[in-house]
Structure 1
Amino acid sequence: MPARRNGPRGLGAISGVAGHVEGLPAWVSQSRDMDEEEWTMPIATLRGVTLDCADPRALARFYQEMTGMELGYNADGFVALTGGSGCDLGFQRVDGYRVPRWPGQVVPQQFHLDLRVEDLDAAENLALGLGAVRPDHQPGGDRWRVLLDPAGHPFCLVTG
């Protein structure tokens, strides 16, 4: 069993994954809660998240306006924003990019970003003005809003 399996909120804390998941190593897909004594120190910190898209510069501009992050790197096919948190947000060109279909899974979202905001209505209006789209399906009620960025990735505006 790899040493990095566990951490303060590591893979060992995942429950609800029953049995083996096809394509994952057995140690990842086992459902088992870990005791605190089994936790080890983390060996990594999150450095960045990169979104696939057809136009990295356009998508970076959208998120730059939404978050206030600054341009950290700009090359053909890849753009990164940085905001001082130590976690960059990158955008990479993918030929044949397919827009996620949310909430359906024909083309799965794979993950989404949660952006903390003070005022849901004001943040939604800004995002829509920058090119986001508000899908009909809104499971968060007054607690959060789901929007689609200009490349079709779902993201949430959340308070608190």
Structure 2
Amino acid sequence: MTHPRLLHTALDAVDARGLAEFYRALMGLVYRDGDEPRVGSPDVGSPDDGSQDDADWLVLLDTDGHRVLAVQQVDELTPTTWPDPAVPMQAHQDWAVPDRASLETARERAEALGARVLLDRTDDPEEALYVLADPAGHPFCLLVGDQS
């Protein structure tokens, strides 16, 4: 049986480019091909620089080319108040399997273990996936994706 492999951790942000730049600089990561800031866009990281571009999904890689982090654009986000439990920590993980048959097997296993499907996007020809909630309600994705 093929088990899912952690593809990357995905973070929501109201400024996806700004957050991606923070982690790129902090961790020494690089953008996946095509996710780099556009030529001619304002410098990222200075106040009021218009750094929020139209990027809604950015993937950062380590120096060996392995996915580490993804940043997803959202319209609004309530920052965590942790350790005060009023607004808990927020993140989700993407777990990759090599093919659609493995995707269905992983979904069935997740449901048998107590997960529930929140979104079925298996009809997407470019990136078939399920968004599930774990037994505690935390979302995670199972998707057909790069296993490297």
- Normalising TM by the smaller chain, what interval? 0.3 to 0.5
More helix by share: 1
**Larger Rg: 1 or 2?**
1
Q: How does the TM-score come out when normalised to structure 2? A: 0.43
More strand by share: 2
**Relative CO higher for 1 or 2, CA cutoff 8 Å, sep ≥ 6?**
2
Q: How does the TM-score come out when normalised to structure 1? A: 0.40
